[in-house]
Amino acid sequence: MQLSRGYAGLSGTGLKSADGPKPLASTLTVVLAAFTVQLPILLYHRLYGINDLPFLVLIPTGVAFVLTSSWMHLVAESRYRRKGIIKRTGFLKGLLGFFKSISSPSTASLLLVLLSFSTSYLLFFSLSAPEMLSLYRAIYDVTPTLVKAPLLLFHSFIRPLMDMEALWKYVFALNFSAAFSALVSLVTADKS
């Protein structure tokens, strides 16, 4: 029974030994990179009082699993579609062009997954920081009346995130960022 057209290689990555590094070493490198990207996040949250060991171990392990799976999917799809490239349009054209200019599909896939994770985490955390409330109010005060309704909607979405306890904000931010990274890898694999 074949699960997917691109997962025919060793250890489920679509990598064969003629393609470059051994699949197990590549996969372990990606897992190590996923934990390395999360290390500053863990240290930051430890400084702010999150000391629950299950949350500091299990959540990053799950995130590393999602990031590794996203990388494996991108590598498998890029190797499957290497000969025929579908035309790209819009925003993804420039993004995919940059990542395709990197010589190794494994490296490009890893960069895409880690950058999408890091960017979404930083964006989520900066938008949900309580310090941003004064900035939202300043923007709202100088905004024309027609644009105030979308700003209120945005604020009503962001406000509960600002009021979350530090532990649940940490859990939500990591899970949101991992899901966003997986979504980016799925969309990118379909467009490449």
Residues 1-59: tens digit of each pLDDT: 344 444 444 344 444 544 455 788 889 999 999 999 999 999 999 998 899 989 999 99
Query: Is the per-residue pLDDT at 159 higher than 70?
Result: yes
pLDDT at 103: 61
Collect all residues with Cβ–Cβ distance below 8 Å to 164 and sequence separation of at least 6: 128, 172
What tokens does 192 get?
A: 């490449």
176 pLDDT band, cuts 50/70/90, is very high
> Do the Cβ atoms of 16 and 96 come closer than 8 Å?
no
- For residues 93 and 115, the model is more confident at 115
pLDDT at 105: 78
pLDDT at 102: 65
Tens of pLDDT, residues 56-91: 999 999 999 999 999 999 988 877 665 444 444 455
Residues comprising the chain, all counted: 192
109 pLDDT band, cuts 50/70/90, is confident
> Mean pLDDT for the chain?
81
Lowest mean pLDDT among 11-15, 25-29, 159-163, 181-185: 11-15
| Burial of residue 55, with CB atoms counted within 10 A of its CB: 0-12 exposed, 13-18 middle, 19 or more buried | middle
Name the residue ranges covered by the structural domains of the chain: 20-126+168-191, 129-163
pTM for the full model?
0.77
